[in-house]
Amino acid sequence: MNRLGVGSAIVLLLAAIYFFVPLAMTVAFSLWEGGSRYGLASYHVLLHRAELGSALVLSIELAVATAAALVVLLLPAMIFMNLYAPRLRPAFEFIASLPFVVPAIALVAGLTALFTGPDWLVGSPFYLVIPYFFLALPYAYRALDVGIRALDLTTLTEAGQSLGASLWQIIGLVVLPNLRSALIGSLLLTLAVIIGEFTFANVLLFDTFAVIMNQIGQHEATEAAALSVMAFLLTWAAMAGVLIVGRGRAQVGGAR
Amino acid sequence: MSGVGSRADNTPLLTPAAARLRPAFGRVLPWLCIGAFFAFAAAFMLAPTIMLAIQSVMDDGAFTLDFISSLGEYRYRVAFENSLVLSVASATVGVLAGAPIAHAVIKPGAPRWLRSAVTSFSAVAANFAGVPLAFAFISTLGSLGLLTRLLKQAGIDIYALGFSLYSITGLTLTYSYFQVPLMVIIVTPAFEALRPSWREAAESMGASSWQYWRMVGLPVLAPSLLSGWILLFGSAFSAYATAYALTSGNIGLVTTEISNVLSGNVMASPQTGAALSVGMIVVMVAVLAVSAGLAQRAARWMPHR
């Protein structure tokens, strides 16, 4: 530690206290069964709450649908923009930065003002995929942009064409495999963010994981702590995946 | 580019076979994909934003500034003040704590395991926000939280001393849990870019550590620290889930006021919600504009990189 310096050691020690005390306290609180008894009762109760399970399934479905929307709508547009229309880059940058300027709660206010129907769209929980796409857009764009710029797409395409490959073959066999780590990283992050997303779902009245989590936690203190521990482990698992495919490069995103 | 001959005109090099494989559909498809993305963004991102702007100044088809001026009412003024104080405070804590942490792990003397441990934990903590974060802090420092009770047993009643988790101070403490790691992640690359030779050069000319940081280190880091602060400000200003789960809307923030209007919890017209939203967008644009101006001024005397 002496090579670290006293000042830095103190900084890291204080940070460690600030970051680990709430985690330890939350774990301990989740195991509390009243008095001086400790056990797994609150976790047991949670596992038998049917509404929590179905909400988690819905959130996972929404996360997968959002990831699919990114792959179908954003990825091809970005590849083709880089290939054929690099002049449109400022427009892409503008759109990708809009969700930062227009907060989630403002976007949901705008969406409710503009779209009151049709019911098959705004009445279905999968309506959430639209705002979730824009929630994921800034960091998905950033990750893919870094990945695509590292590729020299023009040379790769010309090389492929001179070997007689079609556009599909070039994209499927050359471009996508090279973008794999950028793509998987941002999709994992999307999964983590969407599973915990609360703002849009709460205002639009859909029972997603975070909404049900809030309903349960407002009444049951130890179950709230248990849910918090489970959410932390979920985030940890998703981030471990992001760090592994991103070779140690951390990513952040989402609404808080 | 060597080996493909002179390519001044930049047209794709196609073998006859490949040229035949690119029918009209192949030429239209790229523009379809780009157009679909633009159309989607226009319909569901731009149009709702423009709709907010229109809604906030229209009443029954007539132009009015009533809703914009209603933002001056006590309730909404407090909400904007609270949101601004909370965002500035938690972003500043994020920078003041995040930058030294990043510096401590980047130091040449720091062990490698420490660095990867801090990076991984930052990635988790920065994404651990919203409802579960609020519950973790309620379990710890809520009025019945474990730490609160432990401190009380030790003779320190923090709630009697004036602390409350359900206040701006409590919210700042909670927000810091994602703000600090966010800053660590943002600013680590900037610390990596500080060359050890600059420090050695400063030291060989007799500069103290303080002089090195004031004249070399901080000016080089300033643009990254500034853009990091802006990002943290935005993440706190637009945060809703954490505050909602923590205070059940008892502390007026702009985000919780908008959601109260949208879910009909208060007697307020949708236009008031739109005006509040427009107010948030204006604050974000203003903060970005100021930071762009500052970054430009910083760039003027920055060495070319």
pLDDT tens-digit profile of B231-253?
Answer: 999 999 999 999 999 987 778 89
- Across B14-43, average pLDDT: 76
| A31 touching chain B per CB within 8 A | no
Comparing CB atoms, the residue among A22, A85, A115 nearest residue B34 is A85
CB contact under 8 A, B238 and A80: no
**Which of B57, B131, B178, B191 would you mutate first to test chain A, the one with the most A CBs within 10 A?**
B131
pLDDT of residue A249: 65
CB contact under 8 A, A165 and B119: no
Q: Which of residues 133-172 of B touch A (CB under 8 A)?
A: 133, 135-141, 144-147
pLDDT of residue A175: 86
Does residue B297 surpass a pLDDT of 80? no
CB contact under 8 A, A101 and B284: yes
Q: How large a percentage of chain B has pLDDT more than 70?
A: 89
**pTM exceeds 0.90:** no
Residues making up chain B, counted from first to last: 305
pLDDT of residue A83: 86
Q: Which residue has the higher pLDDT, B39 or A239?
A: B39
B-chain residues within 8 Å CB-CB of A19?
Answer: 121, 125, 177
| A102 touching chain B per CB within 8 A | yes
**Which of B9, B44, B139 would you mutate first to test chain A, the one with the most A CBs within 10 A?**
B139
CB contact under 8 A, B107 and A100: no
What is the distance between the alpha carbons of residues B38 and B170, in angstroms, rounded to a whole number? 42
Q: What is the pLDDT of residues A5-23, one digit of tens each?
A: 888 899 999 999 999 999 9
| A173 touching chain B per CB within 8 A | no
Tell me which residue of A64, A66, A104, A125 sits closest to A256, measured CA to CA.
A104
pLDDT of residue A122: 86
CB contact under 8 A, B244 and A15: no
A-chain residues within 8 Å CB-CB of B236?
Answer: 256
What is the distance between the alpha carbons of residues B136 and B147, in angstroms, rounded to a whole number? 11
Angle between helices B168-192 and B131-141 (to 10 degrees): 120
Query: How many CA atoms lie within 13 Å of A254's alpha carbon, on the beta-carbon side?
Result: 33
The b/e string for A16-31 (b: 16+ C-beta within 10 A; e otherwise) is eeebeebbebbbbbbb
Comparing CB atoms, the residue among A21, A95, A166 nearest residue B140 is A21
| A215 touching chain B per CB within 8 A | no
Comparing CB atoms, the residue among A11, A95, A112 nearest residue B101 is A11
| B36 touching chain A per CB within 8 A | yes
Q: Chain-centre distance of CA A187, in angstroms? A: 7
Q: What is the pLDDT of residues B184-227, one digit of tens each?
A: 998 988 888 888 888 889 989 988 888 888 888 888 888 889 98
| B241 touching chain A per CB within 8 A | yes
| Cβ atoms of A201 and A211 closer than 8 Å | yes
Q: Is A38 helix (H, G, I), strand (E, B) or coil?
A: strand
Q: What is the pLDDT of residues A139-191, one digit of tens each?
A: 899 889 988 888 888 888 888 888 888 878 888 888 888 888 888 888 888 88
B-chain residues within 8 Å CB-CB of A255?
Answer: 130, 238-241
| B189 touching chain A per CB within 8 A | no
Across B15-29, B53-67, B286-300, which has the greatest mean pLDDT?
B53-67
Helices (H), chain B: 16-20, 24-41, 47-56, 66-69, 74-106, 112-127, 131-141, 146-153, 168-192, 196-204, 209-212, 218-237, 241-247, 254-262, 270-300
Comparing CB atoms, the residue among B17, B240, B281 nearest residue A102 is B281
pLDDT of residue B15: 52
CB contact under 8 A, A213 and B240: no
Q: What is the pLDDT of residues B246-274, one digit of tens each?
A: 987 778 899 999 998 888 777 778 889 99
Q: What is the pLDDT of residues B134-168, one digit of tens each?
A: 999 999 999 889 999 999 999 999 998 989 999 99
Q: What is the pLDDT of residues B48-64, one digit of tens each?
A: 999 999 999 988 888 88
At residue B7 the predicted structure's pLDDT band, cuts being 50, 70 and 90, is very low
Comparing CB atoms, the residue among B46, B107, B240 nearest residue A104 is B240
Gap from B298 CA to chain A (nearest CA, Å): 22
Ramachandran category for residue A246: left, alpha or beta (phi over 0 → left; psi -120 to 50 → alpha): alpha
